[in-house]
Structure 1
Amino acid sequence: MTPLGILLESGSHPRAHYALVVAAGAAALGREVVLFATNTGCLMLADPCPLLADPREGTLVARGVAGIATLREACVEMGVRMIACEAGLRAEDLAAMPLLPGVEVAGIATFLGAVGAGQVVTL
C-alpha cells in the first residue's frame, strides 16, 4: 500500500479530531501514515494538548466517540509518524511549545519525501 500523508493546517478541534480519525483508521488497515501539522494545527501535537479542553472533546467521549486523547495515543501505538512543521511553529509563535514525545520538527520537504507517491489529505 502507498503511504498516506495527512496535512493538518487548522487548530480547530473538529479538524484535528478528524485528522486523527483518518490517521488511526489508515494505520489500523496497515497503511504507513505521516501526519504533518503546521500553523495552528501544531496545537494537536502539543503536550499537554490544549484541544483537550475544548467542550467538543467531552461531548464526543460522552457519546461513545474516541476523542483526541484516545486517538493520539492509538496513533502513537500504531506507529503513525508525526511531524510538526518548523516554519509553522515559528509562524504561530509556538516554537517553545512542548510536543508529544516522538514528534519530529521538520519542514514540508521532509513530509513530502516521506509520503513520496502516496496520497495526501489536507484538513
Structure 2
Amino acid sequence: MRPLGILLLSGGHERAHYALVMATAAAALGRDVTLFATNAGCRLFLAPSPLLADAREAVLAERGVATLAVLLEAAGELGLRRIACEAGLRAEGLAGGALAPGVEVAGVATFLAAVGEGQMLSL
C-alpha cells in the first residue's frame, strides 16, 4: 500500500480530530502514515495538547465517539509518524515548548520524503 501523508494546518478541534481519525484508520489498515502538523495545527502535538480541553471532547465521549485523547493514544500504538513543523512551531511562538512523546520536529522536506509517491490529505 502507498504511504499516506496528512497535513494538519488548522488548530481547531474538528480538523485535528478528523486528521487523527483518518490517520489511525489508515494505519490500522496497514498503511504507513505520517501526520505533519504546521502552524496552528502544531497545538495538537503539544504536551498536553490544549485541544484536549475543548468541550467537544466530552460530547464525543458521551456519544461513544473516539476522542482526541483516545485517538492520540491509538496513534502511538499504531506507530504513526508524527512530525511538528519546525517553521510552524516558530511561526506560532511554540518553539521550545514541550511536545508529546514520540513527536519529531522537522521540516516540509522530511514530510515529503516520508510520503514519497504516496497520497496526501490536507486539513
Normalising by structure 2, we get a TM-score of 0.99
The CA distance in 1 between the partners of 2:115 and 2:36, in whole Å, is 10
Matches within 5 A, 1:44-83: 44-83=44-83
1:24 aligns to what? 24
* 2:115 is the counterpart of 1:115: yes
**Aligned-partner residue type, residue 91 of structure 1:** A
Consecutive unaligned residues in structure 1, runs of 5 or more: none
SS where residue 79 of structure 2 aligns?
Answer: coil
Deviation at 1:96, TM superposition (A): 2.1
The CA distance in 2 between the partners of 1:18 and 1:46, in whole Å, is 17
1:70-111 Cα deviation digits (max 9, x unpaired): 000001000000000000000000012211111100000000
The CA distance in 2 between the partners of 1:96 and 1:106, in whole Å, is 13
* 2:6 is the counterpart of 1:6: yes
**Runs of 4 or more off by more than 6 Å in structure 1?**
none
SS where residue 84 of structure 1 aligns?
Answer: strand
2:106 aligns to what? 106
